[in-house]
Structure 1
Amino acid sequence: MKEKLKEIISEIRGYLDERDMEREKLIVISRDVIRLSGNAIVLIEKGDFKGAEENINKMKELVEVFLSELKNFPELYYSGIAYNMLTEYAEAILLFHIMNENNIISYKEMNISPVPYLLGLGDVIGEIRRVIIDMIRKEDFENAWKLFEIMEEVFFQLSNMDYPDALVPGLRHKVDTARRLIDDTKYFLIDMESRHFLKKSLSIHIEE
């Protein structure tokens, strides 16, 4: 019995050592993907879609490597490392297609599972708000309202996903945050547009 138990524990140790090495490798890849995602989002918000696409293409290559590495330890797909990285990955790609093509792509097209896709979609709302604020600063209210409609639609669809955190961890919190962002953005947009037209109207009267 002693020898058998020793063999079992030795086998488990070998498995865990291998899994730990794999985990460390995945952490390095995930950090690179998260960094590239952040870079891509900043470039998208600046309107530099070419630069953003370069970062996204690098991300795609790394995610392919990441998913390939997971084949030996598929249970790691559902770890925080994978979900956090794939959420950031989804956010950058979704924002790119919304801003550059006025289009939305599916989780299947990204080759990821539905959960990180939904979480990334939840984060996109905050990034869209940033772009709207910049449009307001430039007094581009027409496009700001168009983008706000997309922001509202994303929120509406996510708010209908009534599932517990055990199934979609963190989504409820993201939806609650998004609700506040939607309200704040709408009021700010209405207020700044009203001020803009009032200012314009006053300047016309002064000229007359």
Structure 2
Amino acid sequence: MSLKDAKTSLSKISKSLEKTQESREDLIKNTRQIITLCSESIISIHRNDIKSAAAKIQSAKRLLEKFRKEIDQGLYRYLIPSEQEFVEASSFLAIIQNKPVPSFESLKVKEESYVLGLLDCVGELRRNVYDKIRTGKLEEAKKTFDLMEDLYLQLYPFASFDKIVKEARRKLDVDRILVEETRTALTEEIRRQELIDTIKKIKE
């Protein structure tokens, strides 16, 4: 009896895993730039700086394409967070520009990344609704809310895939609260505006 072959195998496996671990750490470190670019693009959208937002999203897209070509498929799951941010930013920009929300095929992302990114986009739409309420753009706020609610309803069935799409159920729970809170705020503002209009008519 001998462990000679086992020792040789374990040594090779150890070296292979060390290489994989180094690649994983490098990937996580480098993809932070993608996440940062997407976060900055969302901030730019809220500031109505669409040109800057689009440029940052394009930069993130180029980096994603670069990493997809370079990484081993076994490490692809570590690209999910950056793809998720990319989907969120790209979808939010499309909505603000009154364009169709892009498909996961056109964004070239994994299905999981797409679903999670859209779930996060609901939160950005909520903020946009509040911004429009604050600036007196009620009709636009209504349209954005309708789309926000519709997006949530389209995503709701994915709660059953929570074991596959990690955090889907938790994000859906958060989105449900956001939708209800936004509906309440919008309804209150509509009623307030109707009351103001009624008072103005009486005074006339």
Q: Could you state the TM-score of these two structures normalised by the residue count of structure 2? A: 0.93
Distance in 2 between residues matched to 1:22 and 1:161, nearest whole Å: 31
Would you say 1:139 and 2:133 are equivalent positions?
no
Equivalent residue, structure 2, for 1:156: 153
* Cα deviation code 1:131-179 (max 9, x no counterpart): 0000000110010011111101101111122423221111111111111
Partners of 1:177 and 1:188 in 2: how far apart?
17
- For residue 69 of structure 1, what is the aligned residue in structure 2? 70
Q: Structure 1 unaligned runs (5+)?
A: none
Percent of aligned pairs sharing the same letter: 30
Contact 1:22–1:69 under 8 Å retained in 2: no
Residue 171 of structure 1 is matched in structure 2 by: 168
What is the alpha-carbon distance in structure 2 between the residues aligned to residue 10 and residue 178 of structure 1? Answer: 48
RMSD: 1.5
Match for residue 56 of structure 1? Answer: 57
Is this contact kept in 2: 1:29–1:62, CA < 8 A? no
Q: Report how far residue 88 of structure 1 moved.
A: 1.1
Match of 1:90 in 2: 87
Q: Would you say 1:14 and 2:11 are equivalent positions?
A: no
Query: Distance between the aligned counterparts of 1:99 and 1:160, measured in 2?
Result: 25
Query: Structure 2: which amino acid aligns with 1:201?
Result: T
**One-letter code aligned to 2:76:** Y
Question: If the length of structure 1 is used for normalisation, what is the TM-score?
Answer: 0.91
Q: Distance in 1 between matches of 2:115 and 2:161?
A: 13
